[in-house]
Copies of this chain bind each other. A is one copy, B any other.
Amino acid sequence: MDYQIFALGDVVLQRGATLRNARLAYQTYGRLNAEKNNVIVYPTWYSGQHVDNEWLIGEGMALDPSKYFIIVPNMLGNGLSSSPSNTPAPYDRARFPQVTLYDNVRLQHRLLTELWGIERIKLVVGWSMGAQQTNQWGCLYPEMVERIAPFCGSAKTAPHNIVFLEGVKAALTSDAAWHGGWYDKPPTTGLRAVGRVYAGWGLSQPFYMQELWRSLGYSSLEDFLVAYWEGFFLPKDANNLLAMLWSWQHGDISDNPVFQGNFKQALAAIKARALVMPGEMDLYFPAADNAWEVAQMPNAVCRPIPGVWGHFAGGGANPVDTQFIDDQLKELLAYE
């Protein structure tokens, strides 16, 4: 087992369900120093797990485990933390409860404070839904979080993003084998359809025009659709995907008892030095939305990741983008 489990006990979720014997799976990189002032939190993204974050961690990089104690908490629903696929009846599978951004971050906060007694965080950083959790950290725990670096994400899921996800959901649930979530065998037709719907959104128009999938080792456009996109979603659990999709569609850092829906107030509460990095051509987390958010935050800069990799600019697949992100993170970590 290449990760640890933090037993959360019985957790009352924001929307009312009690998740009994809830678990938060996490992995750490590096060592917590005696002063407990070298902590970085790096939440996961839609369907990603801690290992999928490791491309941004390494000696000599900004997220250097020889300097920092890097904690990667797995998002609820991702198959390692409490999820439809691993929760016993009666909250199993299609009955897994609705989990919010607020739930995820509160539970991560418990991990840090209860397990290690951490009081200060040097940096919270994350991609996509990980960026959303990063923003949630920033406004919920402003005295604790010194810096945030959300990339290719937002502080509130935009209506168009919700619509894009409706298409993903419809493609999956059109497969009768999904059976309302009570499948015994995976709804493979629907999972493949998710891959095909997602393919157009994940990368930009010029990415495809320039056939940059070749740089990833695919031999044709159709090969990229099958070998990468269908291959990516086929092994995922459909109910897990739908649970995380619900969390994403309802992602809003102000939708909680603290901010009660006041989005501007939540953004203004992010006191941390914030480095916000949209993908210049991201189709579902548009750079323009981040520019607006940054204008509401007291100590933030917006630095778009240039180029044509769209949302995947933040996915670790393109070395140039990874270099850009790493350089920016180094600058942010040097900022006092």
Contact = CB atoms under 8 A, between A and B. Distances in A.
Interface in A202-247: 203-209, 211, 221, 225
Given A196-B167, A199-B167, A200-B166, A159 B288 contact: no
A130 interface: no
Contacts of A284: 205
A46 interface: no
B166 A208 contact: no
Interface in A14-63: none
A221 B162 contact: yes
Interface string A115-146: 00000000000000000000000000000000
B174 A221 contact: no
Contact of A174 (B159, B193, B288): B193
Contacts of A173: 193
Interface in A142-198: 158-164, 166-167, 169-177, 189-190, 192-193, 196-198
B199 A158 contact: no
A286 interface: yes
A287 to B, nearest CB: 10
A159 B209 contact: yes
Contact of A225 (B161, B163, B172, B283): B163
A92 interface: no
Contacts of A169: 196
Nearest to A206: B288
Nearest to A164: B200
Contact of A158 (B171, B192, B209, B289): B209
B159 A200 contact: no
Nearest to A193: B170
Given A170-B192, A174-B190, A193-B174, A199 B163 contact: yes
Contact of A166 (B163, B174, B177, B225): B225
Contacts of A166: 196, 199-200, 225
Nearest to A213: B159
Contacts of A196: 163, 166-167, 169-170
A163 B208 contact: yes
Contacts of A174: 171-172, 174-175, 189-190, 193
Given A175-B176, A192-B170, A159 B208 contact: yes
A8 to B, nearest CB: 33
Given A163-B221, A197-B197, A200-B166, A289 B171 contact: no
Contacts of A163: 196, 199-200, 208, 221, 225
A160 B197 contact: no
A279 B209 CA distance: 19
Given A171-B193, A196-B167, A197-B197, A207 B176 contact: no
A197 to B, nearest CB: 4
List the 9 closest pairs (A to B, CB-CB), nearest first.
Answer: A167-B197, A170-B193, A160-B208, A159-B208, A170-B196, A164-B200, A160-B205, A174-B174, A171-B171
Interface of A: 158-164, 166-167, 169-177, 189-190, 192-193, 196-201, 203-209, 211, 221, 225, 283-284, 286, 288-289
